[in-house]
Amino acid sequence: MWRNLKWKVLLTATALGCGVGASKIANSDDPATALKLCTAVPVRLFRLSVTAAAIAFDYEYSLMGLAEDSDERERVKHEVHIRGARRLEDLCFKNGGIYIKLGQHVGQLDYLVPIEYAKTMRESMLNRCPTSTFDQVCKVVKKELGGAPEEIFDEFDPVPIASASLAQVHVARTHEGQKVAVKVQHTHMTDTAAADLATVELIVNTVHRFFPSFDYRWLVDEVKETSPKELDFLNEAKNSVKCMDNFRRLSPHIAAYIYAPTVYWSLSTSKLLTMEFIEAPQVNDLKSIKKLGIRPHDISKLVSQTFAEMMFKHGFVHCDPHVANLLVRTLPSDRSSIFGSRKPQLVLLDHGLYKELDNYTRTNYAALWKALVLADAKAIKENCKKFGAGDDLYTFFTSILTMKPWERVIDPAVDHLAISDQSELQIYGPEYFSQVTELLRRLPRVILLMMKTNDCLRSVDNALLQRSSLESFLIIGRVSSEAVIQEKLLKAKSLFSLISVWLEEISLEVRFTILRLALWVLQFKKSLSL
């Protein structure tokens, strides 16, 4: 009787599913796309379910009977992590689209997911993104701009120069002779994005129900919020304009050193973006950068200054600063110095993912980084609690932000935040997994994105200098302190309070001068020991 009932339920569900699908196709403005959606989504959901089940079963079966703290369990767990990471990688590439985006997020979570997952995703998700065929590109261009690429542009290279999770870029030339970069959205993105996010959310919620310590719901929430904005290329164009306007208004002292490509508005839509083509090496292309006469050290300082100004003064932050989105060229108005070096200009690409920090978040985040750089334990704790870390988890929060154990964070030494070993903090992942997961659940999502931005910037620093930059931390400390002082000056309501703020400003200036001298002495000693 159960078998008969089971088959009846299955057949009824199938019939209902087919009926709903047929109805959706018949009533759709684009039946071909609706048919594709109704046939593709179940396959993608099936792959996701099978992968999740396979990973869960592998952990359950492989670790069964092994003592918690045994070396054998750690060895087997490492092997299971690798197999799970490869299964997840395979799923992301087969399903594509939003799955690639999720894989990229996982690749930047060294402090939360096992390092095997982070490393696998990081090495593959940025360099092996799928590409659309030229026929698909032509369809997007015709639908968005009203004509074939050869009609809209004087020249259009059919081979993309770059491909990412959401779109790919083609080099073209306008009828007026300007060389441009045309960013064309992958056609499958909008077709399946909503359904993909719904299925991923379903699986993550289900896994969390059975394994409460496995809580990545915040990651799905973040992708759900940011994906629609990233899929709207006109929003990206507006972000680039606002970014440059912020530097001119709020950070005029470095505005000339920052650049975003000019947008061709008449050749841009929500799914196609035409921009000025910039010929410049990526920020990690040290060989090309040195040929330009630019010192990697100067670029590191400029990157730190740029993003510190965004976070602590503008409150409008580019949240995807990986190496492919940062180009470097010589400052157009600059001439080489007597030593032959040139000043750099940082070109910011891909403005799809920005985060706005309200005034409370911006100023308290600045106060937290000021305290971190100055190793002020009391202020660190006070500002961590404002973001929800509490008395129990503020040390984890500071450790994730700085990639240093708490004892080093509050060490008054000038190099206390320098990372000498990238794996120094990875003990926090497996040992305190539940606490860190709880911390990330409590923190505002905007702070989670700031943490991701910090990780990207740390990677850029390592690519430029092959080490953590001490001067970058001083720059962060100085800019965050300036933001805190500016806020206090705005709130000062009496002459006494103004004088108090001015004295604090002078005191901070003295402290940073001493820190810079101490840093110079430390670097000089290191150079003598080489």
Query: What digits encode the pLDDT tens for the residues 484-529?
Result: 999 999 988 888 889 999 999 999 999 888 888 888 887 777 667 6
The residues near 150 (Cβ < 8 Å, ≥ 6 apart) are: 156
3-class state of residue 175 by DSSP: coil
Distance CA 102, CA 168 (A): 18
pLDDT of residue 28: 45
Q: Do β-strands 179-185 and 167-173 pair in parallel, antiparallel, or remain unpaired?
A: antiparallel
pLDDT of residue 8: 43
Tokens 């997911």: give the residue. 113
Distance CA 269, CA 182 (A): 11
- Tell me the average pLDDT across 173-187: 94
- Reported confidence tier of residue 468, pLDDT bands at 50, 70, 90: low
Kindly state the DSSP code that residue 282 receives in the 8-state scheme: B
pLDDT of residue 4: 42
Helices (H), 146-250: 149-152, 187-210, 217-230, 233-250
More confident residue, 379 or 418: 379
**Rounded mean pLDDT of the chain?**
82
Q: Which helix (H) or strand (E) holds 184?
A: strand 179-185
The residues near 468 (Cβ < 8 Å, ≥ 6 apart) are: 417, 418, 419, 420, 458, 461, 462
> Could you tell me the two tokens for 227?
């994906």
- Does 18 score more than 50 pLDDT? no
Q: What percent of the chain has pLDDT over 90?
A: 39
- Reported confidence tier of residue 2, pLDDT bands at 50, 70, 90: very low
pLDDT of residue 25: 41
> Could you tell me the two tokens for 257?
């050193």
- Tell me the average pLDDT across 437-450: 82
Distance CA 161, CA 386 (A): 45
- Tell me the average pLDDT across 10-14: 41
With the CA atoms of 107, 164, 319 and 421 taken in that order, what torsion angle do they form, in degrees rounded to the nearest 10?
Answer: 30
Q: Which residues are catalytic?
A: 320
Q: Which ranges in the chain are annotated with CATH 3.30.200?
A: 131-185+232-252+261-277
CB atoms within 10 A of CB 353: 21
With the CA atoms of 286, 291, 295 and 296 taken in that order, what torsion angle do they form, in degrees rounded to the nearest 10?
Answer: -10
Query: Cβ-count burial of 383 within 10 angstroms (0-12 exposed, 13-18 middle, 19+ buried)?
Result: buried
- pTM, whole model, 2 decimals? 0.81
3-class state of residue 267 by DSSP: helix
Distance CA 465, CA 470 (A): 11
- Does 264 score more than 80 pLDDT? yes
- Does 17 score more than 50 pLDDT? no
Letter string b/e over residues 62-86, b meaning 16 or more CB atoms within 10 A of that residue's CB: eeeeeeeeeeeeeebbeebbeebbe
Distance CA 465, CA 472 (A): 11
- Does 265 score more than 60 pLDDT? yes
CATH number of the domain at 131-185+232-252+261-277, out of 3.30.70, 1.10.1740, 1.10.3470, 3.30.200? 3.30.200
Distance CA 514, CA 512 (A): 5
| Residue pLDDT, tens place only, 91-150 | 888 887 778 877 877 777 666 677 888 888 877 776 667 788 999 999 999 999 999 999
Kindly state the DSSP code that residue 266 receives in the 8-state scheme: G
- Reported confidence tier of residue 6, pLDDT bands at 50, 70, 90: very low
Whole-angstrom distance between the N-terminal and C-terminal Cα of the chain?
81
Least confident of 282-296, 313-327, 341-355, 513-527: 513-527
- Reported confidence tier of residue 252, pLDDT bands at 50, 70, 90: very high
CB atoms within 10 A of CB 135: 9
- Tell me the average pLDDT across 184-196: 74
- Does 402 score more than 50 pLDDT? yes
| Residue pLDDT, tens place only, 24-50 | 444 445 555 555 556 666 777 788 888
- The answer to whether 190 and 40 are in contact (CB under 8 A) is no
- Tell me the average pLDDT across 167-175: 95
More confident residue, 47 or 184: 184
- The answer to whether 300 and 470 are in contact (CB under 8 A) is no
Rg (CA), the chain: 26
